[in-house]
């Protein structure tokens, strides 16, 4: 029997736009109470107002470890439990290596790697205590294949890939499922940082997916019976070749 999300409590980072917002909408539509975690205060308030009373804005700066420490206590204070945590927030630096600056890499690595590690670490004790839970991480096809024009981004997603599957093995015994959804190019703000030539080619070829496609894949992962773990989903535009 499929697992239902109705009545569950879900938290998702990077929820104010893009893949995060598409997934948050899907969770709300499935009947969950959803914490939208982001640092964009005005945008959070607006989208939660549109989604209704089961969408709860939670302002957290994922670049700040002290701010991350406030996330789980705030969720428990308002909802008393957490059934699903989706570490979705991320950023992008691509192009020729010498055209970007190490300071840009540091910010991206903090968000793509450290913030994922810290937020997952923050939610796991609660899930272990309850002996149930789901952790989903938004990764990238770059975590599976080295993408030539994305050396630092690819490195960040390889770190995420290793983290997801080691944590999955450690916590399966506690009834916790851990998996990653790994999209190819998606039409979000992140691709605006692509080299213009690559972006123009992708748009012309129809090689950018709608964020809703990723949300549908994540919903499939979360609604499998608890006897089943979807450890990876790689989802690509039909014409995208890696």
Q: Name the residues annotated as catalytic.
A: 153
Q: Where are the alpha helices (DSSP H) in 146-195?
A: 151-171
Pairing label, strands 84-87, 55-59: unpaired
Task: Give CA–CA dist 206/208, Å, rounded.
Answer: 6
Whether the Cβ atoms of residue 38 and residue 16 lie closer than 8 Å to each other:
yes
Task: Give CA–CA dist 114/64, Å, rounded.
Answer: 10
Whether the Cβ atoms of residue 136 and residue 84 lie closer than 8 Å to each other:
yes
């Amino acid at each position: 029997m499929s697992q239902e999300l109705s009545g569950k409590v879900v938290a998702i980072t990077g929820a104010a736009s893009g893949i995060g917002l598409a997934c948050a909408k899907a969770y709300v539509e499935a009947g969950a109470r959803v914490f939208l975690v982001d640092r964009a205060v005005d945008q959070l308030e607006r989208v939660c107002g549109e989604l209704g009373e089961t969408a709860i804005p939670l302002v957290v700066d994922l670049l700040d470890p002290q701010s991350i420490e406030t996330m789980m206590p705030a969720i428990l204070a308002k909802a008393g439990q957490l059934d699903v945590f989706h570490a979705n927030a991320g950023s992008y630096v691509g192009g020729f290596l010498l055209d970007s600056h190490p300071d840009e890499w540091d910010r991206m690595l903090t968000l793509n790697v450290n913030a994922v590690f810290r937020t997952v670490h923050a939610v796991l004790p609660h899930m272990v205590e309850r002996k149930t839970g789901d952790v989903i991480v938004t990764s990238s096809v770059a975590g599976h294949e080295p993408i030539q024009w994305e050396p630092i981004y690819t490195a960040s997603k390889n770190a995420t890939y290793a983290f997801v599957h080691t944590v999955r093995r450690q916590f399966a015994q506690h009834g916790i499922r851990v998996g990653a959804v790994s999209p190819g190019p998606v039409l979000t703000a992140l691709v605006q940082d692509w080299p213009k030539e690559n972006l123009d080619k992708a748009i012309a070829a129809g090689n950018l997916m709608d964020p809703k496609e990723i949300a549908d894949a994540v919903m499939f992962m979360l609604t499998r019976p608890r006897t089943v773990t979807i450890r990876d989903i790689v989802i690509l535009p039909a014409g995208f070749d890696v």
